Amino acid sequence: MKYELKSNDHPKLTDDEKEFLGIIGELKNFYQHLNPAEEKHKEMVREKVKEMDYCEEGIRSFDGKRKEFQRLMDDTEKPRREEVHHIDCPRCKKYNYLKPYGEMKDEKGVRYFTYYCKKCKLEFSDFYPIESEDQLVWIDNFIEQSLLVRDDDTTYAEKFSMTTESIKIMKEDRKDVARHAREMKEWKAPHLKYVADCEAWVKAHIRKFREQLDEIELAGDDEYERLLIIDKTSVRRAFDDSYYTDDEREIIELYKYFEDHYKERIGKDETFDEMCKTLYEGTLGMRTSLENFAKDRFNFWEDVANDDKARLKKLYHVECTHCFHPNATRPMGEKLNEKGWRYYHFKCTKCGEEFMDAIPNKDEDALAYFEDFIQQANIVMEDGRTYKEHHGIADAVMLDFKEKAIAKKARLKTVKEALEGMQEIEDKQKEDIVEGIGFMTLQKISVESGNQPIGES
């Protein structure tokens, strides 16, 4: 009889993954039907469609790896599925020699083999779990239960005629089960981490792409607003040679000079072929490394400069302070309060009134706001109560503000370290480049004068 997986069928797409694929489909449909006139927007549309394709492929790849892991799990259990087990039928009490017929899960998700009694036509499950981790729990519970004292002052072990020797054997068996459970846990750990990372990636992208769908709905048929959705990164300039420093441009020209020099010498003298190949590859590598650094630096400072612009183009869920209508809208701009903190201000889509956000939009100002609120909350009022008690501010609100203040501090620290780190790298790079220019210029003069051709002694 064919082995059947009952309630433990091979994994299928989760609800989140199905939702994600649906959102991707909607976004792809939107982007593919846009027909912008400007080439930069056309390129952005192509990039957006590529992003959707990449995400779609990511889900398929994840699903494939999950099924591959399940196949490996099935292979590890295959010997047990194909061996004959000695087991009693709970209905007819017949002592059977049976191979598993399938498997099932209980309400706790613990898996058991199922069997089919040919005599009484009953399908029943084993009492002993399939997986070693569950077996370990089962053995511990069994040993614990066997020692419990019943109402008649006998233990369950005595009631069911379990000898001390049989319990001792079970404890010895437990060591093997524990070892196997530990090995299986270590073997499964990388996959479970991969699954957790993928699930987090899916959830994060669902939130991100839902915002885009909200923006699409908000834009309606307005072509300008529709193009703004794909234009969020249009503030980013394209990298070109003008963003190299003068020293970088100079050393890049020197790198190219020596690349040509070494390349030209390869094949002319076998004695120096390997040396010239090595020098050529090393010089090319140094130039590529410098060019990549310059691009990374450019992108880093572009991100810093464009952070405010990108935030202004985001869709925010804010409540109007006049009519309390929940809005999904973009900021109209920034306004300063009396303390100099910057806030986004919005226009209500229902009553048309303008209002400011409750919390400042800059991290530094938001941290000052949270710290000021926490400090004010502990000030003692004229009636002897604190400001927090006087205004009935809940402990949960205070805890939330403290956690947000900690998060802002951490973010500001991370940003500061990133800025200082990049500046430190830039300063070191400048020193290395100046030193490299001096050395390579002298080498170039030697090569051109014929006094010391590089690659020869």
Mean pLDDT in residue range 219-245: 61
Phi, psi of 393 (to 5 degrees): -80, 125
Same domain, 284 and 411: yes
Same domain, 422 and 368: yes
Residue that terminates a domain, selected from 323, 339, 360: 360
Same domain, 308 and 401: yes
Mean pLDDT in residue range 392-404: 85
Same domain, 390 and 420: yes
Q: Would 213 be classed as within a structural domain?
A: no
Mean pLDDT in residue range 66-88: 80
Same domain, 326 and 449: no
pLDDT at 6: 40
Residue that terminates a domain, selected from 300, 327, 360: 360
Nearest Cα residue to 245 out of 436, 443, 433 = 433
Q: Residue 400: pLDDT band by 50, 70, 90 thresholds?
A: confident
Q: Would 325 be classed as within a structural domain?
A: yes
Cβ-contact 113, 4 below 8 angstroms: no
What mean pLDDT, rounded, does the chain reach?
A: 81
| Euclidean distance between CA atoms 136 and 185, whole angstroms | 13
Same domain, 336 and 423: no
Mean pLDDT in residue range 186-206: 82
Same domain, 296 and 326: no
Q: Which of 72-81, 150-159, 340-349 has the lowest mean pLDDT?
A: 150-159
Mean pLDDT in residue range 19-36: 85
Q: Would 450 be classed as within a structural domain?
A: yes
What is the distance between the terminal CA atoms of the chain, rounded to a whole angstrom?
A: 81
pLDDT at 60: 84
pLDDT at 5: 41
| Euclidean distance between CA atoms 277 and 280, whole angstroms | 5
Put residue 36 in one of left, alpha, beta given phi > 0 → left and psi -120 to 50 → alpha.
Answer: beta
In Å, how far are 55, 275, 306, 440, 450 from 453, measured between CA atoms?
A: 53, 13, 49, 13, 6
Same domain, 450 and 377: yes
Task: Answer yes or no: is pLDDT of 102 > 70.
Answer: yes
pLDDT-above-90 percentage for the chain: 5
The DSSP bridge pattern shows strands 102-105 and 333-336 to be unpaired
Q: Would 391 be classed as within a structural domain?
A: yes
Structural domain span for residue 303: 242-313+362-457
| Euclidean distance between CA atoms 307 and 304, whole angstroms | 5
Residue with tokens 């991370």: 414
Q: Would 304 be classed as within a structural domain?
A: yes
| Euclidean distance between CA atoms 214 and 212, whole angstroms | 5
Q: Would 386 be classed as within a structural domain?
A: yes
Q: Would 117 be classed as within a structural domain?
A: no
Nearest Cα residue to 80 out of 20, 3, 158 = 3
Nearest Cα residue to 191 out of 73, 19, 75 = 73
Mean pLDDT in residue range 268-291: 84
Partners of 347 in the beta sheet?
354
E strand residue ranges, 48-206: 85-88, 95-98, 102-105, 111-117, 122-129
In Å, how far are 369, 370, 392, 402 from 381, measured between CA atoms?
A: 20, 20, 13, 21
Task: Answer yes or no: is pLDDT of 385 > 80.
Answer: yes
Helix, strand, coil percentages (3-state) for the chain, rounded to 5, are 60, 10, 25
Residue that terminates a domain, selected from 302, 329, 360: 360
Q: Which of 18-22, 421-425, 452-456 has the lowest mean pLDDT?
A: 452-456
Task: Answer yes or no: is pLDDT of 120 > 50.
Answer: yes
pLDDT at 9: 42
Q: Residue 4: pLDDT band by 50, 70, 90 thresholds?
A: very low
| Euclidean distance between CA atoms 36 and 224, whole angstroms | 10
Q: Residue 93: pLDDT band by 50, 70, 90 thresholds?
A: confident
Task: Answer yes or no: is pLDDT of 358 > 90.
Answer: no
Q: Which of 102-106, 150-154, 417-421 has the lowest mean pLDDT?
A: 150-154
Partners of 345 in the beta sheet?
333, 356
Task: Answer yes or no: is pLDDT of 138 > 70.
Answer: yes
Q: Total structural domains in the chain?
A: 2
Residue with tokens 């990636």: 201
Cβ-contact 247, 434 below 8 angstroms: yes
| Euclidean distance between CA atoms 120 and 371, whole angstroms | 74
pLDDT at 244: 85
| Euclidean distance between CA atoms 336 and 434, whole angstroms | 45
Task: Answer yes or no: is pLDDT of 180 > 80.
Answer: yes
Residue with tokens 């620290």: 413
Q: Residue 457: pLDDT band by 50, 70, 90 thresholds?
A: very low
Residue type, 355: F
pLDDT at 344: 92
DSSP state of 242: G
Q: Which residues lie below 8 Å from residue 278, measured CB to CB, with a gap of 6+?
A: none
The size of the chain, in residues, is: 457
Same domain, 289 and 401: yes
Q: Would 65 be classed as within a structural domain?
A: no
pLDDT at 346: 92
Same domain, 289 and 319: no
Triad 163, 164, 166: Cα angle to 5°: 65
Nearest Cα residue to 239 out of 196, 300, 299 = 299
Cβ-contact 320, 353 below 8 angstroms: yes
Mean pLDDT in residue range 294-322: 78
Mean pLDDT in residue range 110-129: 86
| Euclidean distance between CA atoms 5 and 102, whole angstroms | 5
Q: Residue 131: pLDDT band by 50, 70, 90 thresholds?
A: confident
Same domain, 366 and 356: no
Which tops the pLDDT comparison, 366 or 11?
366
| Euclidean distance between CA atoms 168 and 174, whole angstroms | 10
Same domain, 335 and 374: no
Partners of 111 in the beta sheet?
105
Task: Answer yes or no: is pLDDT of 87 > 60.
Answer: yes
The DSSP bridge pattern shows strands 111-117 and 122-129 to be antiparallel
